[in-house]
Amino acid sequence: MKNCWKILEIEETTDVDIIRRAYLALLPSFHPETDPQGFKQLRQAYE
């Protein structure tokens, strides 16, 4: 798997709010029905 920070398109941080905002901003780009692999990677990066 690619680096989670690259997937979320943010710098390394421990700020949960920044991580959450990045995840929510990218979420519409990775719909589980049209891009299940991309959605899975985004979800894993968020977790």
Residue 29, both tokens: 């780009």
Residue 10 has pLDDT above 70, yes or no: yes
Q: Quick one: pLDDT band at residue 41, thresholds 50, 70, 90? A: very high
Q: Quick one: pLDDT band at residue 46, thresholds 50, 70, 90? A: very high
Residue 43 has pLDDT above 70, yes or no: yes
Three-state SS annotation for the chain: CCCHHHHHCCCCCCCHHHHHHHHHHHHHHCCCCCCHHHHHHHHHHHC
Query: What is the residue range of 37's domain?
Result: 4-46
Q: Do the Cβ atoms of 30 and 42 come closer than 8 Å?
A: yes
Residue 33 has pLDDT above 90, yes or no: yes
As for how many domains the chain has, the answer is 1
Mean per-residue pLDDT over the chain, rounded: 94
26 residue type, one letter? L
